[in-house]
Amino acid sequence: MDTLQTYPETEQVAFPLDLPRELFWDVPAALDLDPRTHDTLIITRVVELGRLEDWRKVRRYYGDETMKRVVTNVRALSPQALALCCTAFDLTQEDFRCYTSRPFPPSPWIW
């Protein structure tokens, strides 16, 4: 006889700015994300993976200057996120660290 296996209810932890839990799938649920301390993580995840309403929440909370500072200094952004940030903040690709810096120094054995 097949029985349904039930799992205990997972504790719902409030995420900052009422953002969806799916954006932070790799962050332990017990960790309390502080919007001021973890601003780089929150902004980067929303820019890369968030929906338009998540983008609006984060932009309203942090403001354009903080968002510009964070996205221009992160090491990696997808081409889509880079284009979105260029348009939203009136920047060029050369303003972004992920565009101007090489991720690794050239290897001496590669010809």
User: pLDDT truncated to tens, each residue of the chain (111 aa)?
Assistant: 455 444 344 444 456 788 998 899 888 877 788 889 999 999 999 999 999 999 999 999 999 999 999 999 999 999 999 999 999 999 999 999 988 886 666 666 655
**Cβ atoms of 89 and 81 closer than 8 Å:** no
What end-to-end distance do the CA atoms of the chain give, in Å?
A: 65
Q: Is residue 63 part of a domain?
A: yes
Answer yes or no: pTM beyond 0.85: no
DSSP state of 1: -
Task: Report the pLDDT value the prediction gives residue 2, as an integer from 0 to 100.
Answer: 52
Per the domain annotation, does 10 fall within a domain?
A: no
pLDDT score recorded for residue 10 = 46
DSSP conformational letter for 32: -
- Of 74, 56, 76, whose CA–CA distance to 64 is shortest? 56
Instruction: State the total domains in the chain.
Output: 1
Q: How many CB atoms lie within 10 A of CB 15?
A: 18
Residue 11, domain member (yes or no): no
Please report whether residue 82 resides in a domain: yes
Is residue 5 one of the residues assigned to a domain?
A: no
The pLDDT of residue 5 is: 46
Is residue 7 a part of any domain in this protein? Answer: no
Q: Which domain holds residue 95?
A: 33-100
